[in-house]
Amino acid sequence: MSNLPADLRYTKTHEWVKENGDGTLTIGITDHAQEALGDIVFVEVPENGRQVDADEACAVVESVKAASDIYSPLAGEIVEGNATLTDTPDAINTSPYEEGWIFRLVPSDMGALNGLLDAAAYQQVVEEED
Amino acid sequence: MGLRTPLYSEHERLGARLVPFGGWDMPLHYGSQIEEHHAVRRTAGLFDVSHMRPVDISGPGAQAFLRHLLANDVARLKTPGKALYSCMLNSSGGVVDDLIVYARAPERFRIVVNAGTADKDIAWMREQGAGFEAAIQPRHDLAMIAVQGPEARRRAAPWLPDNLRDSAMTLAPFFATEADDWFVGRTGYTGEDGFEIMLPADRAAALWRSLVDAGVQPCGLGARDTLRLEAGMNLYGQDMDETVGPLESGLAWTLAGEPAERDFIGRDALLRLRDAPERRDFVGLLLTGRGILRGHQKVLRDGEEIGEITSGGFSPTLERSIALARVAPGLDGICEVEIRGKPVSARVVKPPFVRHGQPCITLEDA
């Protein structure tokens, strides 16, 4: 059983979203996603200041197997990419919800966060995939 | 659901991630592909390769048949037990499959072919073998386990049958020995020392468990692929296939052109391509920019497409991305690879990338 924190929001494309309480969101991929991808060997994070739409591909995670796009869960502006992933991409494997975060976003509409999945709904998505 | 090897339940017990491969359900990894890869480079790893198919060829016409069937020449196998890597070509010089052939005795050979092509290969052999006094016998009753790495042979020795242990431990590279239905070759697909062991299917689980319990790391197809890529070894279906032959996939060294009177399938087509100006090169690439090389990415020179990657990935030993690529003749020095629409710098190198745990190329950017 993969780890699924109850205080995060999720997407059908296996991103997690954390509200930081300062108008920013932190985004990464779920424990389930990193396990399915296998050992992660390269991450391309988005540049600061980039404007993204909801569901826009804005980062790439490459495992030993394949490359996967990471989508922005909401529209907004990228304010930080996790630069440490350049040297330690495997942080996504070892710590998907902490050191393995991928980028921070200032959403144009914080209210849209409520449209994302909660842990139970995401769990359902994962179970339907299996 | 795919076919299952005699070791399927061992893989399940070890928590393997099982994936379809060549009609079989096979382990991709048992947790971390990279750790499995390092185990083979540093100590020893264990692979279930029972999906590959041994085929015994025997009879008074066996040697003549194989000299016609294969692009390499089994007449070079002058000692019983000696092995040879060869392509089996079609008449247009494309590769039906690549394989290893072992000479067992005069008039007796064993071939090992790939899983996904086995049925096609055997049909092709039967078709081509019609005029020869040679029996073709696929060995569905055998399992196959590869033990690879600098410590592989020493770790495997205690679990070999008593009547085979001494001869196995004194094998020269690319030789095999056998007793009863056990067959041990000092061969592999990783660039490391080791054994490939064929044995009765009902004995495979016991050998597997003994090796796992002795600390040999089980390895899946994922590590098998990165190990063979580092070793500069081709993968059938990716690096060559029925439309692309050995001259354009780095396998010219496996073609036995002499004696000239040996009439093997595909010979005429090879002779036509050999000196053709359009004959493409097969090279290694080391990515110097950021990203990961993957199969089918375009190779560019001065912005112009001149070829494509056939196998690419992350090299755990070099901690860099490497690839094999088929390109226009004369590519040298540096080039670019198109990754997600953007050109990224790469350096042309001569495979292998890694052998016996050591890098074979320099990593400094040119």
Nearest CA in chain A to B339: A67
Which residues of A fall within a CB distance of 8 Å from B34? Answer: 39, 41, 64
Torsion angle of the four alpha carbons A118, A122, A123, A127, in this order, in degrees rounded to the nearest 10: 160
Residue B214 in this model has a pLDDT that exceeds 50: yes
> Could you say which of 3.40.50.300, 3.30.43.10, 3.20.20.70, 2.40.50.100 is the CATH number of the domain covering A9-109?
2.40.50.100
Q: A42–B294: do the CB atoms touch at under 8 Å?
A: no
d(CA A105, CA A108): 9
Distance of residue B312 Cα from the nearest chain A Cα, in angstroms: 10
Q: B291–A44: do the CB atoms touch at under 8 Å?
A: yes
* ipTM, interface predicted TM-score of the complex: 0.89
- Residue ranges per structural domain of chain A: 9-109
On whether the CB atoms of residues A73 and A23 are closer than 8 A, the answer is no
Nearest CA in chain A to B322: A64
Distance of residue A111 Cα from the nearest chain B Cα, in angstroms: 33
Select from B17, B30, B33 the residue whose CB has the most chain A CBs within 10 Å, as the one to mutate to test that interface. B33
| Chain B interface includes A65 (CB < 8 A) | yes
Q: Which residues does residue B17 pair with via DSSP β-bridges, in sequence order?
A: B29
β B298-301/B304-315 pair status: antiparallel
Torsion angle of the four alpha carbons A100, A102, A104, A109, in this order, in degrees rounded to the nearest 10: -110
d(CA B250, CA B235): 12
d(CA A69, CA A63): 11
Residue A49 in this model has a pLDDT that exceeds 50: yes
d(CA B86, CA B245): 12
| Chain B interface includes A62 (CB < 8 A) | yes
What is the average pLDDT value for chain B, to the nearest integer?
A: 97
d(CA B129, CA B121): 12
Q: Which residues does residue B287 pair with via DSSP β-bridges, in sequence order?
A: B346
Phi-psi region of A63 (alpha: psi -120 to 50; beta: other; left: phi over 0): beta
What is the average pLDDT value for chain A, to the nearest integer?
A: 95
B76 CB contacts (<8 Å, ≥6 apart)? B84, B256
d(CA B216, CA B160): 15
Residue B318 in this model has a pLDDT that exceeds 90: yes
Which residues of B fall within a CB distance of 8 Å from A41? Answer: 34, 292, 314
Interface of B with A in 249-308 (CB under 8 A): 290-292, 294
Number of H helices, E strands in chain A: 3, 9
Task: Strands of B203-349 (E only): list them.
Answer: 217-219, 281-287, 298-301, 304-315, 320-327, 334-339, 342-349
pLDDT in tens, A5-29: 999 999 999 999 999 999 999 999 9
| Chain A interface includes B63 (CB < 8 A) | no
> In the structure encoding, which two tokens stand for residue B204, read together?
């495979």
| Chain A interface includes B28 (CB < 8 A) | yes
pLDDT in tens, B5-33: 999 999 999 999 999 999 999 999 999 99
3-state SS assignment for residue B166: helix
Banded model confidence at residue A1, pLDDT cuts 50, 70, 90: low
Banded model confidence at residue B366, pLDDT cuts 50, 70, 90: very low
Average pLDDT over residues B239-265: 97
Quick one: three-class SS letters along A26-77?
A: EEEECHHHHHHHCCEEEEECCCCCCEECCCCEEEEEEECCCEEEEECCCCEE
| Chain B interface includes A106 (CB < 8 A) | no
pLDDT in tens, A51-75: 999 999 999 999 998 999 999 999 9
Residue B174 in this model has a pLDDT that exceeds 60: yes
pLDDT value of residue A129: 82
B22 CB contacts (<8 Å, ≥6 apart)? B51, B114, B115, B116, B117
| Chain B interface includes A94 (CB < 8 A) | no
Banded model confidence at residue B365, pLDDT cuts 50, 70, 90: low
d(CA B356, CA B113): 25
B3-36 exposure pattern, b = at least 16 Cβ within 10 A, e = fewer: ebbbbbebbeeeebbbbebbebbbbbbbbbbbbb
A67: closest CA among B340, B151, B254, B267?
Answer: B340
Average pLDDT over residues B194-199: 98
Q: A38–B28: do the CB atoms touch at under 8 Å?
A: yes
Q: A66–B33: do the CB atoms touch at under 8 Å?
A: no
Average pLDDT over residues B320-339: 96
On whether the CB atoms of residues B309 and B349 are closer than 8 A, the answer is no
What share of chain A has pLDDT > 70, as a percent? 99
pLDDT value of residue B364: 73
Of the partner residues A62, A64, A67, the one whose CB lies closest to the CB of residue B226: A64
On whether the CB atoms of residues B347 and B321 are closer than 8 A, the answer is no
Phi-psi region of A14 (alpha: psi -120 to 50; beta: other; left: phi over 0): left
| Chain B interface includes A44 (CB < 8 A) | yes
pLDDT in tens, B52-109: 999 999 999 999 999 999 999 999 999 999 999 999 999 999 999 999 999 999 999 9
What share of chain B has pLDDT > 90, as a percent? 98
